[in-house]
Amino acid sequence: MRPPNRFLIAIKDRPVVSLTILVSILLVGVLFAFVLGQRTALDDLELTLDRSAISRKNLLQRELQNPLLVPEVLATAPTVRALLVRPSLVAASEQNAVLEETAINTRVEVLYVMDLNGDTLAASNWRASDSFVGKSYKFRPYFQQAIAGQTGRYIAKGVTSGKIGYYLARPVSVDGHIRGVVVAKNSLNALQSRVDDFWRGDRELNLVSDLNGVLVAAPVSAFVFKSIEPMTEATRTAIEVSRQYGNEIRVLPMTPGKALSQSIRLVEFSAIPGQSFLQKSYVFPDLGMRLYLHLPASRYWEIVAEFTAMFSLLALVVFLVCVGLFQRGSYTAKLIETAIHDPLTGLHTRLYMSDWCAAAIRVHNRDPGAGFGLAVFDLDLFKQVNDKYGHLAGDEVLRRVGEIVRNALRGEDLAVRFGGEELALFVRCADLTQALALAERIRRSVEQFKFRSQGGCIPVTLSGGVAYHTAGETLDALFARADQKLYEAKERGRNQIRS
């Protein structure tokens, strides 16, 4: 029988260490799954936000950018140029009517024409009590941008109407010189309505702000005209000077949480208690706006939990399989250990002896110089030891004798517990003399050892018979010759070795 392999020895000798290592590996795996789940959830939700941002930008362009064509066309109209070159009440009256009709047809809230001083010469709302006609808006940034030859874009509360609007301004050039500005003001009501619909339908929180981070459209009214981004003192002063939003700008009550990536963070709003969101912002310079998209943080944690749970379940299955294999291996190791070693004496068993002897006989049959001897021992009067001192004392005697025999052996020899108190010793040697000498040393060691018990000192001796294997001889024949010599030793008075 072959000895157990290294794995079986390891799990038998260090079962707690083996299980601890296995559990540690599985815990590291679960932690890795949690981190990987976070990455997977983040990538998935960021892709969802990016796709939504494309759709929302198209919506903003339809609601806000399309009216840009109106001031673009009016800036080239001969009547507008004539009014700016030669302003008069008649020309202004005619232009009022044109602007009124154009605003109705294009669904623009207000259209108006301003001269180089920022004074409004004509407006589509000329009939209204809060008409822009005669009002000066020189301080507005959109006017200043247009006078500088650019397209002015601006979000603000109307100074006259008090209504939030999106302003688009184009310069009017005559003979290569800018002579005034045409402005289209569009309401953000349609945009606000769409933002409200998203919130009511799918609880999708969309926030729209200007480039300074001041919210102009949100499904929660308390958010509007609040600053969602940190603002410098210079920016705050510029907003107040231009009377962009009327009263002083306040910071939105928002609690920023952990940044999950460079562009996504967790946030909470005091106006929406009990909810946490994933937030990502998008800047649209061509629209002069920012878009803040949000998803419930619960969606993120659900994906992380599902991913981690799946891997944990797999890890649990692997763990149970490994525990089963471990128990099986440990049980197998114990069986093998029991099969090859006597648990009391520590000597080998007869089962292991058979394989060892078969191999030794084959080698000796091929090589006459590779012989071996056999010494058979029997403890003298061992039954009297059990009867007088008890079986526990008898077991202790056998254990001690096993130690003496093992200590006397060389690595190439084999000691076997053959029966109850019978031992067999196989000695690789060149002749009978060497085997006889080893057997005699063991006999003396047993005789001189002090075996003690509660009943006092136990006298122990053993008798033995030695035989040397002859090439071609069977194991049974070898044992028969050694047993015969053991019988002679018993007959001649015990405590001796015969060969």
CATH code of the domain in which 431 resides: 3.30.70.270
Q: Do 358 and 321 share a structural domain?
A: no
pLDDT on residue 250: 87
pLDDT on residue 93: 94
Answer whether residue 475 is part of any domain. Answer: yes
Note down the domain range covering 405: 350-498
pLDDT on residue 11: 45
Considering its fold, how many domains does the chain have in total? 2
Token pair 């939700």 is at which residue?
Answer: 45
Residue 267: which CATH number? 3.30.450.20
pLDDT tens digit sequence for 76-89:
999 999 999 999 99
Find, among 385, 384, 351, 357, the residue nearest to 373 by Cα: 357
Domain boundary (300, 332, 364) is at: 332
Rounded-to-integer distance, Cα 377 and Cα 479, Å: 12
Burial pattern 111-129, b for ≥16 Cβ within 10 A else e, equals: bbbbbeebbbbbbbbbeee
Domain boundary (332, 359, 375) is at: 332
Answer whether residue 400 is part of any domain. Answer: yes
Q: Do 400 and 291 share a structural domain?
A: no
Q: Do 378 and 320 share a structural domain?
A: no
Answer whether residue 387 is part of any domain. Answer: yes
Backbone angles phi, psi at 166, to 5 degrees: -110, 120
Answer whether residue 340 is part of any domain. Answer: no
Strand-pair partners of 15:
none
pLDDT tens digit sequence for 454-494:
767 888 999 999 999 998 899 999 999 999 999 999 999 99
Answer whether residue 413 is part of any domain. Answer: yes
pLDDT on residue 33: 83
Query: Can you list the residues of the chain whose pLDDT is less than 70?
Result: 1-19, 65-68, 329-339, 455
Q: Do 120 and 167 share a structural domain?
A: yes
Rounded-to-integer distance, Cα 327 and Cα 292, Å: 57
Find, among 296, 281, 401, the residue nearest to 347 by Cα: 401
| Six token digits for residue 178 | 């800018």
- Give the CA count within 13 Å in the CB-facing half-sphere of 343: 6
Token pair 């008069």 is at which residue?
Answer: 88
CA 434 to chain CA mean position, Å: 67
Q: Do 312 and 420 share a structural domain?
A: no
Q: Do 358 and 327 share a structural domain?
A: no
Q: Do 155 and 20 share a structural domain?
A: yes
Domain boundary (297, 332, 367) is at: 332
Q: Do 367 and 234 share a structural domain?
A: no
Q: Do 355 and 327 share a structural domain?
A: no
pLDDT on residue 411: 80
Answer whether residue 1 is part of any domain. Answer: no
Q: Do 169 and 129 share a structural domain?
A: yes
Each as own residue / partner, the long-range contacts of residues 313-318 (CB below 8 Å, 24 or more positions apart, any chain) are 315/26, 315/29, 315/30, 315/33, 318/26
Q: Which amino acid is at 256?
A: P
Q: Do 243 and 116 share a structural domain?
A: yes
Rounded-to-integer distance, Cα 377 and Cα 446, Å: 11
Token pair 């590291």 is at which residue?
Answer: 28
Q: Do 304 and 381 share a structural domain?
A: no
